[in-house]
A and B are shown apart, each in its own frame.
Chain A
Amino acid sequence: MKGAPSGFVISLAVHAAAFSLAGLLVVFTVQQREEKKFVPPKPVDRPKMKLKKPKVKVKKSAKPKATTRIVTKVKRASMPDIQLPEMSGITDGIAGGVGGFEIIPDLQEVTIFGSGQSIGSDFVGTFIDFKRDRGGRPVTMDPDMIRSELNRFFSRGWKPSSIARFYRSPKKLYATSFMIPPIKSALAPSAFDERSTIGYCWAVHYTGHLVYKDDITFRFWGHGDDILAVKVGGKVVLNGCWPGDTEDAVQPGLDGWSSSSADSRKFYMGNNTAVVGDWISLKAGEPLDMEVVIGEVPGGTFCSMLAVEVEGVEYERNKQGGPILPMFKTAEPSYELIDAIYEDMVEGEASVTNGPIFRDY
């Protein structure tokens, strides 16, 4: 370029060379990226889960020792005081329909854990397997761990999200009663179509509503081997878990609940003595949220029996000298459900046909 300073020319040439080199580099890099293909990683060899050795005493099938727990405090559920009318009309007669229409569930799917079809006044049950993650893969679990998980679940308001990492069966069952006498614990997974899982470290969480057509005051009596916990209107009203390790382990999560009745843990219902719950008062037709958790810890025998005592009613006495209480129910039990209960329930430990039906008609 005629007239341009030599320094300028040199600078121009250097810049031109630099740009050319950069262009080559860019082209080379782009070509490399276009040619690179994604290669998936090799599958990881995951070791099979080894079951831990038991950390707790093996539970024998012999009779348990009688509990020596002494209730030292009186605790009542903080329910609003309500003026109650005469408790007439709620007798120990045969429970019967009072008009309206009955939706008959598909009798082929009636199990002691619920049926496959809702009739509206029932509790929806979700089966949770603590031995598997939400994807169905095995996880390490033992009795101490599941007690801890359940205590955490209870302490966090019984929110399903607090145990969301565990497997939940897609099949739901709809229960109108919680009267499961001592049976093999493997039957629960089977009822929820989870036959492949072994019958230990599982729970079922039932949610529904508690309502009665008239004003009523009553309390639950119940026992669970290993888990039975009941919450009404946001308040724990019964911790019927297996006495000792399990009952103690979940007590903190259940607001430290303990029975205020001298009759608690006196009379057998199934394979252990029943706990007496707090008095509950319902206003006619006004529902309260109700949740029930049942479950099994180490496996073996499972039992979960929930009955009601209506205030002011005199009940027939059984061989133990205890009251023959009606089972909690939200519908008349079908013949098939009664058969399923009777097959393993000792006569006189509860009545499946008498007592109130908790629905709004």
Chain B
Amino acid sequence: MQKKVLCLMGLLGLSMSDHALAESRIWNFSGKTVEGEYINIIGDKLVLKSSKGKTVKVPLVNLSPEDREYLTLLNAPKFVIGFLKKANQRFVETGPFIENVDASFTDYEFGVRIRQDDRGDYNYELKVEYWAIGNEVKAYGDKYILLDRGESVFTPMVGNDRSHVFTGNAVELMQHVTEGEKRGRDYYGYVITVTDIRGEIIIHLESNEWLWEKLEQIKELPVGAFFDKSGLRCHPTRPKPTRY
């Protein structure tokens, strides 16, 4: 018996670009230099806090090309990102001679949709990555599974409507009743990051905060690996004996 349930689900999130704490740096304008920390841009002027603590205003037009690029990257536009989850459920018969409960499979396809939320020019390459996470179905199971990961690069431009969609590999998750208990795997959550050419994560979106906190550990895992809440690889929860 097969039951097809097709569900396209997008979880939309608006994420502000993160104006990271700008470090103090040397700025070049019209042959001069000034050391200072970025504060903001007011009108056509760049506002800095000098190393002596004074406020310095520099006309944007006088800045070097490198400094203008730095400011563009620092002030990335807003992007709307969403996690895509497409699921198709099917049941697998075990046979006509048995009364066992059939197993169910859910075929997943994960991905990301990203769109620039304003019309400003950015024109820099962005790397978009996702990690799809599953968990054990066992009632006493507390391990997680890296189901899939994917990445794609895109440059927001007029030509691509400043938006991009990509999906990953097919993932099959099974749930079944074996030895009198429910077992298998289920979908749990995700993490998405957007990284600019400086290597800085300018946007992140996650279903559960702890997945973002443990992302550096999760990044080290191969797809299919089990891990615990510290993000470290481990073995799955062993089933309990039912016959002794």
- A residues in contact (CB < 8 Å) with B: 51, 54, 56, 58-61, 63, 107, 142-143, 181-187, 198-201, 268, 271, 298-301, 319-320, 335-336, 338-339, 342-347
Contact = CB atoms under 8 A, between A and B. Distances in A.
Given A298-B95, A319-B241, A184 B236 contact: no
A143 B97 contact: yes
Given A268-B244, A342-B235, A184 B103 contact: yes
Contacts of A51: 96
Nearest to B92: A186
A58 B225 CA distance: 38
Contacts of A61: 99-100, 180
Given A186-B103, A320-B244, A301 B97 contact: no
A143 B98 CA distance: 11
Contacts of A143: 97
B103 A58 contact: no
Contacts of B239: 181, 343-346
Given A183-B178, A184-B178, A200 B103 contact: no
Interface in B78-115: 92-100, 103
Nearest to A273: B243
Nearest to A181: B239
A138 to B, nearest CB: 13
Contacts of B244: 268, 319-320
A181 B240 CA distance: 13
B59 interface: no
A146 B222 CA distance: 40
B220 to A, nearest CB: 13
A339 B97 contact: no
B73 interface: no
Contact of B94 (A184, A271, A319, A320): A184
Contact of A299 (B95, B179, B224): B95
29 contacts: A58-B97, A58-B98, A59-B98, A61-B99, A181-B239, A182-B179, A184-B94, A186-B94, A198-B95, A200-B94, A201-B95, A268-B241, A268-B244, A298-B97, A299-B93, A299-B94, A299-B100, A300-B98, A301-B100, A301-B178, A319-B244, A320-B244, A336-B224, A338-B235, A339-B226, A339-B235, A343-B236, A344-B178, A344-B183
A187 B174 CA distance: 10
Interface in B161-206: 174, 176, 178-180, 183
Contacts of B243: 63, 268, 271
Of B97, B99, B224, B240, chain A has the most CB atoms within 10 Å of the CB of B97
Nearest to B179: A182
Q: Which secondary structure dominates chain A's binding surface?
A: loop
A318 B97 CA distance: 35
Contacts of A298: 95, 97-98
Interface in B226-244: 226, 233, 235-236, 238-244
B179 A271 contact: yes
B195 to A, nearest CB: 26
A200 B183 contact: no
Nearest 6 Cβ contacts at the A-B interface:
A299-B95, A200-B95, A298-B97, A300-B100, A299-B94, A300-B98
A60 B240 contact: no
A107 B224 CA distance: 10
B26 to A, nearest CB: 48
B92 A299 contact: no
A33 to B, nearest CB: 53
B95 A56 contact: no
Nearest to B97: A298
A181 B225 CA distance: 19
A342 B178 contact: no
Nearest to A201: B95
A186 B176 CA distance: 11
Given A63-B243, A182-B179, A271-B179, A300 B95 contact: yes
A347 B140 CA distance: 15
Contacts of A344: 178, 183, 239
A298 B99 CA distance: 10
A107 B222 contact: yes
A256 B229 CA distance: 53
A201 B239 CA distance: 27
A335 B223 CA distance: 12
Given A56-B97, A339-B226, 15 more contacts: A58-B97, A142-B97, A184-B92, A184-B176, A184-B178, A200-B96, A200-B98, A268-B241, A268-B243, A300-B100, A335-B225, A335-B233, A342-B235, A343-B239, A345-B239
Contacts of A201: 95
B174 A184 contact: yes
A300 B224 CA distance: 25
Contacts of A342: 235-236, 238
B241 A198 contact: no
Contacts of B225: 335, 339
A182 to B, nearest CB: 5
Given A182-B179, A336-B224, A299 B97 contact: yes
